Amino acid sequence: MSTASIITLDERETARVATELAERLEPGSVVGLQGGLGLGKTVFAKALAAAFGVEETVTSRSYTLVAEYEGRLPFFHADLYRVRSASEVETIGLEEYFDRGGITVVEWCDRVPEVVPPDAVVVSFELNDDGTRRITIEERV
């Protein structure tokens, strides 16, 4: 397990961290994003999508749980903000996306920890007292 922690001052720096992570992902990678509202999870997800050549705008949604985009690899963006249980996640079939050879990004992965694969990259977002963000990336390498 490797852990790296980075302070970002703005959206652009958060996007750059995502772009660098993208280089280490491969078909089938799952990236879980966790941390409070407004800390940059969707900014990060959008930059990951862009790194995989997704041209369509990745939006923040709470009504569809998983959105599918086309890039160099299939790109799946899930948001579990409103999910309450693992059985609800089973209903949407989240785990089936993991086996499709794409990149799956799961916002609010900590809501349902049991659906996060053991080899997922977990990215945590925290707010520092000075208003900067801390991004911590845990990867199995």
Ligand X SMILES: Nc1ncnc2c1ncn2[C@@H]1O[C@H](COP(=O)(O)OP(=O)(O)O)[C@@H](O)[C@H]1O
Positions touching Mg ion (CB under 5 A) are 41-42, 60
Site for ligand X, residues 2 to 61, rule: CB under 6 A: 8-11, 13-14, 37-43, 60
Q: What are phi and psi of 89, to 5 degrees?
A: -70, -35
- CA-based nearest residue to 135, from 26, 29, 24, 36: 36
Residue 62 binds ligand X, judged by CB under 6 A: no
CB of 63 to ligand X, least distance (A): 15
Q: Taking CB within 5 to 8 Å according to partner kind, which of ligand X, Mg ion, none is near residue 77?
A: none
- Rounded to a whole number, what is the distance in angstroms from the first to the last CA of the chain? 6
61 CB-contact burial (10 Å; exposed 0-12 / middle 13-18 / buried 19+):
middle
Q: Which does 8 bind (CB under 5 to 8 A by kind): Mg ion, ligand X, none?
A: ligand X
For the bound state, the minimum distance from the C-beta of residue 53 to ligand X, rounded and expressed in Å, comes to: 21
Half-sphere exposure of 130 (CA within 13 A, CB side): 6
Instruction: List contacts with ligand X (CB under 6 A).
Output: 8-11, 13-14, 37-43, 60, 125, 133
